[in-house]
Amino acid sequence: MLFRIFTVLAVVALAISTWISLTSPAHRPLPASSAGKGDLPGYYLKNTVLMDYDEAGMPTIRIEAERIDQIAHTPEVVLNNVRVNYLSQNGQNWVMFGDVAHVQPGGKAVDVSGNVRLQGESADRSPSAVVHTDALTYDVTDSIASTKSDVRVDFGAHTLTAHGLVANLKERTIRLESKVNGHFQP
């Protein structure tokens, strides 16, 4: 009989110690919101197309990227192998290519770098200028592409080089900033 009482007491003691151990704050798992965000990767997207529309519902910009990565759990993203199409309502479209693009917080500007090319596309397939540079910033609100870097503008057999450029895509104008030189083939 003494043996049975000892066994019952041992089982009760084991149950109480297990319950204390499992309900102890030191053994509780951390809630998901308490986990360090730096430990987890941000989101990424592959072969992505982003569209923006005007008030009338017409597309105004189309961004294609091979890959989009979130930067350290912020609203900022980096786009790789990017193509940005500016879709004008008057038929004069522009397309910008680059190796890497960084969308600034708020999405109002896109910084494109690495083998950047900006060129016009018209419905009638008439020739247009092609701008080459190493970095370009596109202001989404004002539809202005600009750079302080060296640029080369090719138009058919003609070439202009300069330092700095402002291209107003709505007005279809390109302004070269400084050190402008040209080479024209007859």
pLDDT tens digits along 128-138: 789 999 999 99
More confident residue, 23 or 78: 78
More confident residue, 53 or 22: 53
Instruction: Say whether pLDDT at 2 is over 60.
Output: no
Q: Is the sign of the CA dihedral 117, 118, 123, 125 positive or negative?
A: negative
- For 114-132, b where at least 16 C-beta lie within 10 A, e where not — what string? eebbbbbbeeeeeebeebb
SS (H, E, C) 45-75: EEEEEEEEECCCCCEEEEEEEEEEEECCCCC
Pick from 41-45, 93-97, 178-182 the range whose average pLDDT is largest.
93-97
> Which residues make Cβ contacts (< 8 Å) with residue 56, sequence separation at least 6?
none
Q: How far is residue 100's CA from residue 81's CA, in Å, rounded to a whole number?
A: 6
**3-state SS assignment for residue 37:** helix
pLDDT tier for residue 18 given thresholds of 50, 70 and 90: low
Predicted confidence at residue 108, as pLDDT, reads 83
